[in-house]
Each structure stands twice: as structure tokens, then as C-alpha cells.
């Protein structure tokens, strides 16, 4: 079974054929660190986290690079407003972003280069573009001359005249063409600056990613990704400057995720309708947030609503009921080998899951396979006993892990915490027997804060692990 990827450049699904067999070089545009990250950023991070997880699951060696833009006009303006240096402001939001990613269970990339640490590479790349005759200097600024790069507009699917009519471009009447974009910007009074052959200044936004991608992954990448808002001008400009400098195709597969909408309107800081990751993670566990976003294919817009996350949390409880039931029945007597029906159901689910994920990372269909397997195993557990479905549950957990799910359930509490939870459950059972419902409710809340979900039965209480807020 081949893995097919939808490329924004060709607008078709293509079989993944990495430049180096068995290895994938992937670069994703990171955030500009002038504010807290919002749910739109969470979706993009989640999409490429799952792409990386699935590629790894399929046996590829993935080298994943994701940058931080830590100098630009917005960062400079925000730092001035707050009376701090650009470096101090950027560091504050880099750390906040990392906390947000950890809260969502997003695995860190292999490398997280920062723009300010790679200015020499950018200057060298600009020098190559000037030498190639596709860039020009204007009073200390350096611009890329778009008309000297044949094929400009291939990614966005528009010709130069269409782009000029409705483009997000930098206004500067000195430029030879309105679409020409800045590679180097002359220093402004009081602003950050680096020495260069064209005078003190700082790099333009677009040159940053080309320089860092080439530095760590080489002149040609397998996958380059980001939100669909980056297609033009950012990724279009990356193609032009990278290929003009190296003479080689820059990216084999461009992957772009669609927007997150709030009340049918795109979430955007410029629109002032953002919902920060910090806010959402404070109210919901990470698996529920992940599940609510993964329920929509990454190329389709997703409507974010609290009700959707709450629905995802209820759906997760069905998996946890199965896990808890199998764990609770681990000591029961029964055959040591799985029932043939369990093996069949597991194999069907594995095939459906792989087929879905290999078809352009179709997470909704992959989740459908997981839910169907969970329903089947739950029914078989009731009929055949817990031990017979244990192998199926192990597969279910493993497939969920490809989507970054069930992390807290798999890890479980430490032995010390488990002993404390067991003790509190016994104390609570005693309180219930004494009909001291207030104390029982307080103990339930305390157990919940420790990461344990308590369920009552006539025979006594049982608990299952949901993870502490810090772990989520």
C-alpha cells in the first residue's frame, strides 16, 4: 500500500517518493513570537505532529525542522509598547508556545531554529541571488525581482497580473514591480540591526525560512508545510528565492492545512477573534482538543466550539471505559490467547486505519476505524472476558498513539501516586457507606485533581487514570 499526499503545487494526490529512500526531510513554518498562540496555530501544529507520527509509524526516518520568527515589525512594535527588548519579548513567547505545545501533547521538532541565529546564512543566500541577477539593491534595501523568476505564481495558481491586482505585497514605490519582495531591510533608528554588504539592517520575512530550511535539510526538501494563508506570498516567495539561488526544485510536496473558524469566521489576530491555546487547554484535556480537531480532514476548515470539545471528551470516555474494564479484569481467569474473532476485528481495524492514514492523512476515517474497534472489543469483553481482548486493546492504544491519543492512559500514574489514589478511594468508600455524601464528593474532587476518574458500583468504587492537568 503506497502513501499518497495531496500537494498544493500540483493540486493532486501523489505517491510519497522521498529524495532519499526511507527518509523524509520536512520543514514547517513556525510562529512569529509577538503574542500567545491561538487555536489556529494549534491546528497547524497538530496536523504536522500527526504527519510526522504516521510517517515514523510507517518506518520512515523523519527529520523535522520548525522555525521561530523572532524578529519582525510586529515584534519590534510590541517590544517598544512594553518597554522590553525584542529578544526579551521573543523569548517570553517562545517559552509560552513551547508550554502550549506540551499541553497539547505536540512532540517538539528535531530542530527549532530562530531567525536571529541565522542571519549570516540569510546574507549569504541574498548574495547568491544578487550574483544570479534576480535581486537588486535600493538604498540599503535588497529586493527580489519577481519577473526574473519564470513560473512565479505556480503555487497560488495565479498569473502575475492577477497577483498584482489583489496581492498582500509590501508597498514601496521605489520597487521595479509591486510584487518584488524584500530580502533585506535597511536598519531603522533604534531597531535591531546586523551588519551586511548593503549596510546595517535585518532580513526580510521570506528569506528566513529558505535559509534555515536549506541549512538543515539541504537545497531540496521532501515536505514543506504550514497554514493555507502562507501559500501567498510567503511560500510562493520561498520557492522563487530558493530555486533561483540553487537551481534545484525546492520542495517535492507542499502540504497546507485549512483555517480554524469561530462562528463561521476565520480565526485571526488581525480580526481580533482569537482563542488562545492557553485558554482552551485550561478548560479541556489535551486528548479532547486533539480529537475535536482531528475529526475534520486537515484540508477542510474546522469550526471550533466548546460543545465540540465536550463531545470529544465524551467520546474519549468510551475508550477509557474499555481500557479500565480490561485492566480491572486482568486478574480474571480465562484463556491466555486471544479469541480468533478478536484477531479478525483487530486486523480489519489495522487495515482500515492504515488505508485512511495513507490516503493523505485522513484522520476522520482513521478515527472511525478506532471507534469501531473499540465498540467491537467492548462487546467481546462482555461476552468472552477481559483477557481475550487484551491484544486487541494493545493494538487500539498503539493506533491511537499514531494520532497522539491515549498518552495519559498509557503512561499511568507513578507507583506512589497509584498507592495514594487507592488509599483515597478506600476512604471515600467508607464515607459513602456512612452516607457522608459531602465528604465523598470532596474526595471525588480531590481524586480528580490527582488525575483519577472514580466510578461507583454496588461492589465499591473503581478508578481509571485520566492524567493530571500538568500532564495534559
Q: pLDDT at position 447, please?
A: 82
Q: Taking 70 as the threshold, does the pLDDT of residue 168 lie above it?
A: no
Question: Residue 431, SS3?
Answer: helix
Q: pLDDT at position 410, please?
A: 44
Q: Nearest 10 degrees: CA dihedral of 313, 315, 317, 319?
A: -130
User: Grid coordinates standing for 203?
Assistant: 532580513
Q: pLDDT at position 339, please?
A: 82
Alpha-helical runs (H) found in 29-118? 39-57, 73-82, 86-103
Question: Are the beta carbons of 211 and 122 closer than 8 angstroms?
Answer: yes
Kindly state the average pLDDT of the residues 368-376.
97
- Rounded percentage of the chain residues whose pLDDT exceeds 90: 68
Question: Residue 465, SS3?
Answer: strand
Q: All domains of the chain, ordered by start, with CATH?
A: 4-283 (3.40.50.620), 306-408 (1.20.120.640), 415-465 (no CATH)
Q: pLDDT at position 463, please?
A: 75
Q: Residue 115 has what DSSP assignment?
A: G
- The C-alpha atoms of residue 392 and residue 372 are separated, in whole angstroms, by 12
Calculate the average pLDDT of the chain: 89
- The C-alpha atoms of residue 238 and residue 81 are separated, in whole angstroms, by 31
Kindly state the average pLDDT of the residues 43-66.
97
Tell me how crowded residue 318 is: count the other CB atoms within 10 A of its CB: 12
User: Grid coordinates standing for 373?
Assistant: 474497534
The set of residues, in sequence order, having a beta carbon less than 8 Å from that of 257 and lying 6+ positions away, is 43, 44, 47, 48, 225, 226, 227, 228, 298, 299
What distance, in Å, lies between the first and last C-alpha atoms of the chain? 34
The set of residues, in sequence order, having a beta carbon less than 8 Å from that of 367 and lying 6+ positions away, is 291, 294, 295, 403
Q: pLDDT at position 140, please?
A: 95
The dihedral through the CA atoms of 6, 12, 17, 19 has a sign that is negative
Q: pLDDT at position 84, please?
A: 96
Q: Taking 90 as the threshold, does the pLDDT of residue 270 lie above it?
A: no
Question: Are the beta carbons of 329 and 287 closer than 8 angstroms?
Answer: no
Question: Residue 472, SS3?
Answer: coil
Q: pLDDT at position 269, please?
A: 58
Q: pLDDT at position 125, please?
A: 98
Choice among 44-48, 82-86, 339-343 with the minimum mean pLDDT: 339-343
Residue with cell 535597511: 186
Question: Are the beta carbons of 12 and 255 closer than 8 angstroms?
Answer: no
> Could you give the count of Cα atoms lying within 13 Å of 115 in the half-sphere of its Cβ?
28
User: Grid coordinates standing for 330?
Assistant: 486482568
Tell me the pTM.
0.84
Beta-strand runs (E) in 271-323: 302-303
Residue 170: exposure state from Cβ atoms within 10 A (0-12, 13-18, ≥19) = middle
Question: Are the beta carbons of 289 and 275 closer than 8 angstroms?
Answer: no
Q: pLDDT at position 190, please?
A: 87
Q: pLDDT at position 170, please?
A: 63
For 407-446, the pLDDT digits (tens) are 765 445 666 777 788 888 888 888 888 888 778 877 877 7
Question: Are the beta carbons of 68 and 114 closer than 8 angstroms?
Answer: yes
Q: Taking 70 as the threshold, does the pLDDT of residue 221 lie above it?
A: yes
**Number of residues written out for the chain:** 472
Amino acid at each position: 500500500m503506497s502513501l499518497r499526499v495531496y500537494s498544493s503545487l500540483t493540486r493532486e494526490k501523489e505517491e510519497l517518493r522521498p529524495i532519499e529512500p526511507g527518509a523524509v526531510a520536512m520543514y514547517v513554518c513556525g510562529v512569529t513570537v509577538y503574542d500567545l498562540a491561538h487555536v489556529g496555530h494549534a491546528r497547524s501544529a497538530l496536523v504536522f505532529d500527526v504527519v510526522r507520527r504516521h510517517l515514523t509509524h510507517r518506518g520512515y526516518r523523519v527529520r523535522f525542522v520548525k522555525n521561530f520568527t523572532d524578529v519582525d515589525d510586529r515584534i519590534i512594535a510590541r517590544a517598544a509598547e512594553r518597554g522590553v527588548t525584542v529578544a526579551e519579548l521573543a523569548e517570553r513567547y517562545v517559552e509560552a508556545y513551547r508550554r502550549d505545545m506540551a499541553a497539547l501533547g505536540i512532540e517538539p521538532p528535531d530542530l527549532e531554529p530562530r531567525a536571529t541565529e541565522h542571519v549570516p546564512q540569510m546574507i549569504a543566500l541574498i548574495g547568491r541571488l544578487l550574483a544570479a541577477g534576480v535581486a537588486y539593491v535600493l538604498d540599503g534595501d535588497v529586493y527580489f525581482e519577481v519577473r526574473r523568476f519564470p513560473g512565479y505564481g505556480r503555487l497560488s495558481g495565479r498569473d502575475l497580473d492577477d497577483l498584482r491586482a489583489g496581492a498582500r505585497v509590501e508597498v514601496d514605490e521605489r520597487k521595479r514591480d509591486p510584487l518584488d519582495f524584500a530580502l533585506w531591510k535597511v536598519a531603522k533608528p533604534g531597531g535591531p540591526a546586523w551588519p551586511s554588504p548593503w549596510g546595517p539592517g535585518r532580513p526580510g520575512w521570506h528569506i528566513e525560512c529558505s535559509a534555515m530550511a536549506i541549512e538543515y535539510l539541504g537545497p531540496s526538501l521532501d515536505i514543506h508545510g504550514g497554514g493555507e494563508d502562507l501559500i501567498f506570498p510567503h511560500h510562493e516567495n520561498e520557492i522563487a528565492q530558493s530555486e533561483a539561488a540553487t537551481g534545484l526544485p525546492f520542495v517535492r510536496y507542499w502540504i497546507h492545512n485549512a483555517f480554524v473558524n469561530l462562528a463561521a469566521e476565520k480565526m485571526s489576530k488581525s480580526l481580533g477573534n482569537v482563542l488562545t491555546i492557553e485558554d482552551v487547554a485550561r478548560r479541556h484535556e489535551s486528548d479532547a482538543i486533539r480529537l475535536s480537531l482531528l475529526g475534520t480532514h486537515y484540508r477542510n476548515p474546522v469550526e471550533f466550539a466548546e460543545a465540540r470539545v465536550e463531545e470529544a471528551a465524551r467520546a474519549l470516555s468510551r475508550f477509557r471505559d474499555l481500557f479500565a474494564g480490561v485492566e480491572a479484569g486482568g486478574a480474571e481467569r480465562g484463556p491466555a490467547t486471544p479469541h480468533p474473532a478478536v484477531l479478525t476485528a483487530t486486523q480489519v481495524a489495522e487495515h482500515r486505519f492504515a488505508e485512511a492514514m495513507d490516503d493523505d492523512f485522513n484522520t476522520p476515517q482513521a478515527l472511525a476505524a478506532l471507534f469501531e474497534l473499540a465498540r467491537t472489543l467492548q462487546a467481546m469483553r462482555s461476552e468472552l472476558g477481559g483477557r481475550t481482548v487484551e491484544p486487541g486493546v494493545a493494538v487500539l492504544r498503539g493506533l491511537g498513539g499514531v494520532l497522539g491519543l491515549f498518552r495519559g492512559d498509557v503512561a499511568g500514574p507513578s507507583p506512589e501516586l497509584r498507592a495514594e489514589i487507592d488509599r483515597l478511594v478506600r476512604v471515600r468508600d467508607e464515607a459513602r457507606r456512612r452516607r457522608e455524601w459531602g465528604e465523598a464528593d470532596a474526595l471525588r474532587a480531590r481524586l480528580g485533581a490527582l488525575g483519577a476518574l472514580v466510578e461507583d458500583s454496588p461492589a465499591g468504587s473503581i478508578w481509571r487514570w485520566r492524567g493530571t492537568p500538568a500532564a495534559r
